[in-house]
Chains A and B, each alone.
Chain A
Amino acid sequence: MTVQPAMPKCWRPESKPHKFCPGCGHGLVLKALGEAIDELGIQDRVVFGCDIGCSLLSWDFFNVDSIQTHHGRTTPVMTGVKRANPDLICIAYMGDGGGYAIGSQHLVNAATRNEKITVLLALNTVYAMTGGQMAPTTMPNQKAETAPYGRDVEETGYPTQGPEMVAAIAREGAYVARGTTANLKQLKSYIKKALKNQMEGKGFSFVEALAACPTNWRTNAEKTWNFLQKDMPKYFKVGEKKVPGAEEKEGQ
């Protein structure tokens, strides 16, 4: 018998091993989320919404109430739940296609309205479940199924800077950060801050997590790690983008 690393308490053992590909970043993001939920002791109050794309595979991932929605629509579903029952802690989990393309209007407006929900977005630069098409976040010159010669920024623009966009439109009270699965401890601390922000009723919270997709990147372990740890952060800068109270401090 091999010794398994301890699972977060709120993970659902019956649905493990999980349905993600080997090397996929989703499991790591959900590990950070699971530990955050455990440490905050909110398993009984969390409602977890997952999008379409690989994120939908998490519909039975946790021992928390979960709703699998449509592509891009997890933000409004969680908004609807939260508005109807503010005691619940609502987490909308999605990929970059759901958040920045098909559901971008929901993300923008939820941030603008300062909805008291937490959006957690896994960024892996591709539409993974549908087979590796170009995503809003595909890196310049990166190859994808619908950009076989590499993303041409003249034709298709530059990758979406999600947290920077959200930080620019969200007002005081919002929490915005970009973490990475290459630094789980930091990612967990961001997720915890985001959830606390919601629990304290301060405002919208948004955490993007850089995540790997070796299946669609067609990379081995080493190249996967290099892309995640070296290439992606060049463009997607890790760190907190907006913290409640910071604006007041800046003004002093």
Chain B
Amino acid sequence: MSEKLITEEKRVFMTGNEVVAWAAVAAGAEIMYGYPITPQNEIMHYWTRLAPKYNRKFLQTEDELSAGFTTVGGVMAGRKAFTATAGPGNTLMQEPMSMAEAMRLPTVAIIQQRGGPSTATVIYSQQEVTMTTFGGNGEGLRIVYSTANHQELFDYTIKAFNVAWKYRFPTFVLGDGYQAKMRESLTVYDPEQRGIELVKPEPYVGKPGTPGVDREPGHYRNTYNVEEELYEVLQDYFKDYAKMAKEVAEYQAFDTEDADVIVLSHGVVSRGAKEAVEQLRKEGKKVGYFRPITLRPLPEDQLKELANKAKKLLIVESAQGQFAKLIKDVIYGSSAEVVPFFKPGVGITTEEIAAKANEIL
């Protein structure tokens, strides 16, 4: 029984769900709580195969409420705990995640988006953006990474655990059914060998000593008796969030300097957007590419700058404007015209994006 799953960097070829399981092991995740739902099932399948070999644990719960709340419990016990879900499961997951938000718990959840609303399709969409960024009865105090390929799925799953435990906001890796099920190559590695320090978890409950004798008890709550008390707590959270946002927001961009049209996309759609922009540039068209990697917090300064420089922003997504809504909120009052290209619940090809960008140039 080797202590580490990945002893040296190597190229592998696997599905996205397998990538997540490998990354979670590499990140030092200690326990997964989960409930079956397509298209994330294989994360559990691979995790349960790996877990006993590397002294990790798994619990299959009775539903996603329980998967989320047991994850909360695991985190409060001081373990790197995580869950994975999709679609209607993500809907249920919002309740425990709002508790995590209220109590600043470093939960990690992998979301493999499927069609919506309701049961819809088990295949693919980008329709869980609103829910994953701002779900629950809260203020969206979350960190959401929207990955585009297997390498990122690996990198950002590892990063999610670190960022969650560093800043204590619930953290999500937002994938989708395509990323979950497709196979492509990536390089897996042991993060510590690459100099990535793994943030150590700390228990909220069960610290050494007798509470009230050797130490104060940990009394954790999400209920407040008066409005002002809640308001005060939230003000501190917003301050922490704003500070964190500057350090955590990430994006990718190219050819935006002189672009008339900037194609804005996120997640797996940005693969096609990237290709489309590259093709159009070769044809001499003034097109640029911008893609937030974090949907919460967004790279706000960069987005505002773009929106005052380019003539048009072509927002492409596999949802009816959920991503666009986030962007428009940030760039409100800017000069660029927003052109939507929405295909809810359906994949978007390079050809389609290129054609649309060409049309509005």
Which residues of A are interface residues toward B (Cβ below 8 A)? 10, 12, 43-45, 47, 52, 56, 59-60, 62-70, 73, 76-85, 87-88, 105-106, 108-109
Contacts and interface: CB of A to CB of B under 8 A. Distances in A.
A68 B69 CA distance: 12
Interface stretch (B20-28, B60-68, B179-187, B280-288): B60-68
B219 A66 contact: yes
15 contacts: A12-B212, A65-B219, A66-B219, A66-B220, A67-B205, A69-B72, A70-B96, A78-B73, A80-B72, A83-B57, A84-B73, A84-B78, A88-B77, A88-B206, A106-B66
A131 B223 CA distance: 18
A23 B223 CA distance: 24
A178 B117 CA distance: 44
A84 B30 contact: yes
Nearest to A65: B205
A68 B95 CA distance: 14
Nearest to B206: A88
A77 B79 contact: no
B205 A105 contact: no
A73 B69 contact: yes
| Candidate in A52, A59, A79, A82 with the most chain B CB atoms within 10 angstroms | A79
B205 A56 contact: no
A85 B78 contact: yes
A70 B95 contact: yes
A103 to B, nearest CB: 9
A66 B217 contact: yes
Interface string B73-110: 11111110100000000000001100100000000000
Given A59-B223, A62-B217, A80 B33 contact: yes
Contact of B96 (A64, A73, A83, A105): A73
A20 to B, nearest CB: 14
Contacts of A82: 73, 77
| Candidate in B30, B31, B69, B217 with the most chain A CB atoms within 10 angstroms | B69
A108 B222 CA distance: 25
A34 B211 CA distance: 14
Given A67-B76, A109-B62, 10 more contacts: A59-B220, A65-B217, A66-B218, A77-B73, A80-B70, A82-B73, A83-B33, A87-B206, A105-B63, A106-B62
Given A60-B219, A73-B96, A84-B31, A79 B211 contact: no
B231 to A, nearest CB: 19
Contacts, number: 144
User: Chain B, interface size: which category?
Assistant: 35 or more
A76 B205 contact: no
A65 B62 contact: no
B95 A73 contact: yes
Contacts of A52: 223
B70 A64 contact: no
Contacts of A79: 59, 61, 66, 70, 73
B77 A85 contact: yes
Contacts of A81: 73-74, 76-77, 205-206
Interface in B38-72: 57, 59, 61-63, 65-66, 69-72
B138 interface: no
| Candidate in A12, A56, A80, A108 with the most chain B CB atoms within 10 angstroms | A80
B200 to A, nearest CB: 15
A130 B310 CA distance: 54
Nearest to B221: A68
A43 B212 contact: yes
Given A43-B212, A64-B217, A68-B222, A84 B81 contact: yes
B65 A73 contact: yes
Given A66-B220, A76-B61, A45 B206 contact: yes
A216 B71 CA distance: 35
Contacts of B333: none
Contacts of A105: 62-63, 66
A76 B212 contact: no
B213 interface: yes
A70 B99 contact: yes
Interface in B293-344: none
Given A80-B74, A81-B73, A83-B74, A68 B210 contact: no
Contacts of B71: 80
Given A12-B217, A106-B62, A84 B212 contact: no
